[in-house]
Amino acid sequence: MRTEFYSSLSQNFSQLLEDADDYNVTIKVGENQNTQEFHAHSTILRARSPYFKSALLNQWANDKKDMILFTKPNISSPVFTLIIKYIYTGVLDLTNVSSSDILELLVASDELILEELFKHVQNYLIEKEAVWLNQNLVKVLLIVSKLASCKQLQDYCYESICTDPKPFFTSKEFPILDKDNFLELVKRDDLGIEEIDLWDHLIKWGISQTPIIKQNDVKKFTDANFRDLKKTLDPFISHIRFYDISSKDFFSKIRPYRKILPSELFEDAMSYLMAETEPQYKRLPARLSINLPESKIIRRRHAVILFNWIYQMDSISKISTKNEFQLLYRGSRDGYDINTFYSKVNGQGQAIAVIKIQNSEKIIGGFNASGWNYNYNYRNSYYRNGLECDYEYDHYYGDDYYCYNNINSNNNNRNSDNNKNHFIFSFGENYEIKIGKFVSGAGLYYGQNCMLAFGDGDLTFSGGTGSCNQRSYDQPILDVNSFVVEEMEIFGIRKL
């Protein structure tokens, strides 16, 4: 029998920290009048922090009379008090700690390579300090964007801005926003703002970043003013959706700044908006505003990427810029009974299945372009808008063509659906997506023996385990043939 006495161990090490009469390390933190010295033991520092281990082995610190001295002016005394107690006892108490100090603790734990502490503090900020984060997004972004390991908090900040951009763009801190942070926002397809409003904010920011410009009235700009503003805003111009701006706004708000735009782009956009000619420049997809309910698997940026793939075959005019993911089914909530699954998803229209693979960062899934339409009674019927209707084997639905076939195999009736717009996908790191397009065979099956069956084995799942074996789609979405599911969700797609 194994017994662990971590509580008493933590208390003993806490006493060692408080009564450190045999210390051999002095750590001086803070600067100016706000400095403080902490006493510590090199063996404990070396065991708990890779940073201190490397520093002690490579003699980064000053060694004076058998005493090792570290100087950390960038870490404040209150923050290092939290760190040294965590190093010695494994205890962190953030009660009554200010939000700004918690952010500083995040930065310091990253510098000292305290990975466990770093992950905890990052999650704590998102879960417990959301109000403060949203009130200080410019400041927070400036800090966390420099931390490569802080991707989760970076994503949180960007998605918060994209969901409700107005408070961010109208804040007094906005004009000092870092260029790289702003560019990342302008590139995003899920930035929920009218394009002409984004242009207004871009001009305001550009002027504040260009010291030579002393006035905001564009009519008083000199050629030098335009030249410098163009240099400031040049990285942003190719990411503005000029073709989605009304002709009236383009004429009144874009045209006065034509000198900062490439002449070919300006003329092409003018021709499109005024004379309805076909654009010669590459036209970016319209920005999408997506209402995504709380998902255990995907984030808004995943949803935007999937929407762009759904609509890539359509003309831009068909894309609804306001959309919603409606949660129809969740495995952990509804269970993996196949009858329950079909009762939740049947007849709900176009839908996306997303799967989180166990012990992996991979997200996989498939887009059902027709919606699940499994017929329990084995009659020639289908569901449209929740109603059961008779059909022949082939029919049209909107602009899409697909066919159903009744297939009997060992008395297990299945319906196949060959909608040309079905696809399967996987997400890797940094939202990198891999798409498998339906090319031949069966696009998707409905039946009693599996929940998901895209193609003839390309993506199948029946509860618990699944498999991916390329046959009907143009490329595989996984490098392995089988997987274990941690969670699955089905979202219906709605245009608002």
Question: Domain check: are 24 and 105 in the same one?
Answer: yes
> What is the span of the domain harbouring residue 63?
5-131
Question: Domain check: are 347 and 481 in the same one?
Answer: yes
Query: What global pTM score does this model have?
Result: 0.71
* Interior angle at CA 342, CA 341 and CA 345, nearest 5: 90
Question: Domain check: are 223 and 358 in the same one?
Answer: no
Question: Domain check: are 79 and 201 in the same one?
Answer: no
**pLDDT tops 80 at residue 101:** yes
Question: Domain check: are 341 and 488 in the same one?
Answer: yes
**pLDDT tops 80 at residue 74:** yes
Instruction: Give the model confidence (pLDDT) of 409-467 as tens digits.
Output: 333 556 788 999 999 999 988 788 999 999 999 999 987 678 899 999 999 998 888 99
Question: Domain check: are 157 and 127 in the same one?
Answer: no
Q: What is the DSSP string of 56-70?
A: HHTT-SEEETTEEEE
Among 99, 131, 163, the domain boundary falls at: 131
Provide the number of structural domains found in the chain.
Answer: 3
Instruction: Give the model confidence (pLDDT) of 266-286 as tens digits.
Output: 999 999 998 889 888 888 887
Calculate mean pLDDT across residues 303-327. Answer: 70
**pLDDT tops 80 at residue 30:** yes
| Residues near 436 by beta carbon (within 8 Å), at least 6 away in sequence | 423, 424, 425, 458, 470, 473, 474, 475, 476, 477
* Interior angle at CA 461, CA 456 and CA 467, nearest 5: 65
What single DSSP character describes residue 176?
Answer: G
CA 423, 426, 430, 432 torsion-angle sign: negative
Answer yes or no: is 183 within a domain: yes
d(CA 157, CA 428): 21
d(CA 322, CA 190): 10
Locate all alpha helices (DSSP H) within 90-136, ordered by sequence.
99-111, 115-128, 130-135
Question: Domain check: are 108 and 34 in the same one?
Answer: yes
Question: Domain check: are 264 and 219 in the same one?
Answer: yes
What pLDDT was estimated at residue 377?
A: 52
Answer yes or no: is 139 within a domain: no
What pLDDT was estimated at residue 207?
A: 96
Answer yes or no: is 283 within a domain: no
Three-class SS state of 423: strand
Calculate mean pLDDT across residues 16-38. Answer: 88
Calculate mean pLDDT across residues 362-380. Answer: 79
Confidence of residue 110 (pLDDT cuts 50, 70, 90): very high
The number of CA neighbours under 13 Å toward the Cβ of 373 is 30
Question: Domain check: are 450 and 486 in the same one?
Answer: yes
Instruction: Give the model confidence (pLDDT) of 128-139 as tens digits.
Output: 999 999 999 999
d(CA 148, CA 151): 7
Question: Domain check: are 40 and 9 in the same one?
Answer: yes
**pLDDT tops 50 at residue 20:** yes
Answer yes or no: is 196 within a domain: yes
Exposure b/e, 376-389, CB count within 10 A at least 16 = b:
eeeeeebbeeeebe
Beta bridge partners of 329: 490
Answer yes or no: is 108 within a domain: yes
Residue type present at position 87:
I
Question: Domain check: are 321 and 355 in the same one?
Answer: yes
**pLDDT tops 60 at residue 202:** yes
Question: Domain check: are 331 and 468 in the same one?
Answer: yes
- Tokens at 290, concatenated: 């997506």
Confidence of residue 316 (pLDDT cuts 50, 70, 90): very low
H or E stretch at 71: strand 67-72
CATH of the domain at 88: 3.30.710.10
Answer yes or no: is 141 within a domain: no
Answer yes or no: is 389 within a domain: no
Confidence of residue 64 (pLDDT cuts 50, 70, 90): low
Contact 421, 309 (CB under 8 A): no
Answer yes or no: is 448 within a domain: yes
Looking up tokens 């600067």, which residue turns up? 31
CA 311 to chain CA mean position, Å: 20
